[in-house]
Amino acid sequence: MYQVHCLNSISPKGTELFTENYQLTEHLEDAQAVLVRSAAMHDLALPESLLAIARAGAGVNNIPLDRCSQQGIVVFNTPGANARSVVELSLCGLLLGCRDVVGGINWVQSIKDQPELAKKVEKGKSQFAGHEIAGKRLGVIGLGAVGGPLANAAVRLGMEVYGYDPYISVEAAWHLDSGIRHVKTQEEIYELCDVISIHVPLLDSTRNMINAQALNRMKQGVILLNFARGGLVDDDAMAQALKNGKVWHYVTDFPNEKTASMPGCIAIPHLGASTEESEDNCARMAVNQMKNYLENGNIVNSVNFPNCDMGVCTSAGRITILHRNIPNSLGRFTTAVAGENVNIAGLTNKSRGDYAYTMLDLDRKPSQTVVEDLSRIDGVLRVRVIR
């Protein structure tokens, strides 16, 4: 029986997928699997029994990935499960950025106790005039699960849409509206567009990608939307751009001490995935991926080990090996198995950076001796017998 520990409240739509072979536990030290949303795990002691962590969401900055990899713990996320919720909030942000709705609402609240409020509203509402989005140019950087549907929706709303994504998948490209204009550089987006929305992961190469240099290339009075990650924007540069009018509104789903106090910044309290439907979808996806790994050894949507899927095991035995990406490892594995006259019916070996994963389907159940021999091979992190 697998023990599963939930570090956050997880939607019952996910946990109800566990069968009688699983049991929820309140004790992390007893767990073979962990479900998590936003809880910080960097300071937690991870037990040797822990095989998998599934994040019910996309970002994994709350999980110590290096330590998990070294301990042979596979970390999953759920890309795309909350995409619809983020797309809808991005559309809301687009409208909030173009129309000074937030400023107007705050102003009404500030004068709500004054006499003849209706007359004051009619007299003062002009200070919150905005722009229609039809005919405006929207630049979308990153055309994946969120950026692509956002770009499609904007086309239907009458915007002139430009898209930039050098890493777009074939599947994502097929789903893009033919009216979206593809550009080859981010700089083209900066120079052409009235509104810019960024939808890229936070990596060393993208951190502070919206900096003073990028902002200087944008049109005067540009509107910037950030529903991807807070670290993509240089807060100090953004504060200056808002102050001098280069940026009219900065709409972000990632408020902090700086952005929350910037005039012209619309700071939303990280509501992108905060819908009942999104939490249900993420929970289902996280649980299904976790079960597939624990029961079949298959890895789908891991962030620290390569994806590897051999389906349901139909052979007499299956061994999975998490290991470092060392030359000739596969040869050592097959030699160890062949030493007991066990035939390999199927094999998959994939690598991802410094780490790799090997799955071996065998014509009979492997002995403990084979498992011990494999475990002693240089670079091996964890050996599991699935069947």
In the set 270, 324, 352, 387, the catalytic residue is 270
In the set 55, 137, 229, 249, the catalytic residue is 229
Give me 301's structure tokens. Answer: 């949507």
Catalytic annotation present for 323: no
Dihedral class, residue 270 (left if φ above 0, else alpha if ψ from -120 to 50, else beta):
left
Q: Indicate the Cα dihedral angle 118, 122, 125, 130, nearest 10°.
A: 120
What is the full DSSP assignment across 144-211? STTHHHHHHHHHHTT-EEEEE-TT--HHHHHTS-TTPEE-S-HHHHHHH-SEEEE-----TTTTT-B-
Interatomic CA distance for residues 259 and 270, integer angstroms: 13
Taking alpha carbons only, the member of 111, 69, 9, 87 closest to residue 305 is 69
What are 137's strand-pairing partners? Answer: 160
Give me 14's structure tokens. Answer: 């996910």
Catalytic annotation present for 249: no
Q: Which residues contact 254 (CB under 8 A, 6 or more apart)?
A: 226, 229, 230, 270
Give me 292's structure tokens. Answer: 């597939």
- Residue/partner pairs of 22-29 with CB below 8 Å, 24 or more apart: 22/291
Catalytic annotation present for 229: yes
Taking alpha carbons only, the member of 247, 198, 260 closest to residue 226 is 198
Interatomic CA distance for residues 48 and 322, integer angstroms: 14
Instruction: Answer whether 236's CB lies under 8 Å from 259's CB.
Output: no
Helix (H), strand (E) at residue 252: strand 247-252
In the set 26, 116, 171, 257, the catalytic residue is 257
Q: Which residues contact 269 (CB under 8 A, 6 or more apart)?
A: 253, 255
Active site residues: 229, 257, 270
